[in-house]
Amino acid sequence: MLPYQQLFHNGVVVADLEAAMATLGKAFDLQWTQPHRFSGLSLWTPERGLESIDLLVSYSRQGPQRLELIEAKETGFYSYPREPGPHHAGIWVDDLAHEIRQLRRQGWQVAAAGGSPDENYGLFAYLEHAHSHLLLELVSTELRPALESWWAGGSLNGTP
């Protein structure tokens, strides 16, 4: 069972990252990390298999509950949503593969991940359940030090 207290962010896919940062920053008095371009990020989906994508992302620096903004892609998993609302909720997990197995036994399905099933899904995975209307991102605690450094004003150089 996942501890609800380990939820740490809500992710939103936006049409224009800079504009969303300005709008939401003003509305909620948020400061943002320096936007980071994840170049060649591995993303596996059941429909497309493993592919390499580029994503432009920023997080609110304030926490403990953070807002993640992801600039939309034209197609695919991070395409701009038809309806407003968060894209996903993110939660820390110590053992990603174990948690995925547990959730799959409860009827959750992997929608996307940082690696293929043969690679134990990498360091993050998105799961969905037909009855929850929630896209849940499991994030390995292996990424926590790099993300916390970024939130504190550092960079993400060297982060997968």
DSSP state of 37: E
> What local confidence, expressed as pLDDT, does residue 160 receive?
43
Residue % of the chain over a pLDDT of 70:
98
State the Cα–Cα distance between residues 60 and 67, nearest whole angstrom.
5
Residues 113 and 99: beta-carbon distance below 8 Å: no
108-132 per-position pLDDT tens digit: 999 999 999 999 999 999 999 989 8
The b/e string for 65-85 (b: 16+ C-beta within 10 A; e otherwise) is ebbbbbbbbeeebbeeeeeee
State the Cα–Cα distance between residues 130 and 123, nearest whole angstrom.
24
100-113 per-position pLDDT tens digit: 999 999 999 999 99
Query: Among the CATH numbers 1.10.1040.10, 3.90.550.10, 2.60.120.10, 3.10.180.10, which is that of 4-151?
Result: 3.10.180.10
Residues 59 and 3: beta-carbon distance below 8 Å: no
> What local confidence, expressed as pLDDT, does residue 84 receive?
76
Determine how β-strand 7-14 pairs with β-strand 109-113: unpaired
> What local confidence, expressed as pLDDT, does residue 157 receive?
67
> What local confidence, expressed as pLDDT, does residue 85 receive?
79
State the Cα–Cα distance between residues 85 and 87, nearest whole angstrom.
7
> Hey, where are the domains in the chain?
4-151
Length of the chain: 160
Place of tokens 């504190």: 152
* Of the candidates 65, 39, 67, the residue with the CA atom closest to the CA atom of residue 52: 39
37-96 per-position pLDDT tens digit: 999 999 999 999 999 999 999 999 999 999 999 999 988 999 987 777 789 999 999 999
